Amino acid sequence: TGPAASRRHWAWLESMLHKISNSVSPKLVMVVGHRPVFTAAQRGRTPAEERVADRLHTLFSQYSVDVYINGHDHAMYHITKDGTNYFGNGVGGFDLHRVDENALWPPERGQQLHWASSRHGFATHEVSSAGMRIRLNQMLD
């Protein structure tokens, strides 16, 4: 834990992305993490979360990451920016966060919201040589 562990983790992530970017034409570059880079969920944020989000997005843009999947926020959404698809899926159980399609976080970064929901649900992921299909499934009332 602490700053030394954080530095090791950042170095590891960047080295893996660098290695993948130098490989023979990867068809799909996907990163999975806990916290969102972008979100439509309305909840409190810290300055540290914003710094981490900015740093992750910079790495994802630099290394052409196709997909980032996260949980944490109790909402479901699909956001894109600079060629990366951001999928949030944290609607499996607990109380849900309100979604505001006009108040994306972090604000004013040029990200585009494609879909958002604050209903309980789940996601399915299908990966094949042809690509990846993500289905965001929400429960009916």
pLDDT tens-digit profile of 55-105? 999 999 999 999 999 988 888 999 999 999 999 998 877 788 888 888 888
pLDDT at 17: 95
pLDDT tens digits along 19-35: 998 887 767 899 999 99
pLDDT at 5: 92
Report how far apart, in Å, the C-alpha atoms of 139 and of each of 68, 70, 79, 86, 130 are. Answer: 23, 19, 21, 21, 29
What gap in Å lies between CA 100 and CA 109, rounded to an integer?
16
Return the H-helix or E-strand segment holding 21. helix 3-21
pLDDT at 141 over 80: no
pLDDT at 8: 95
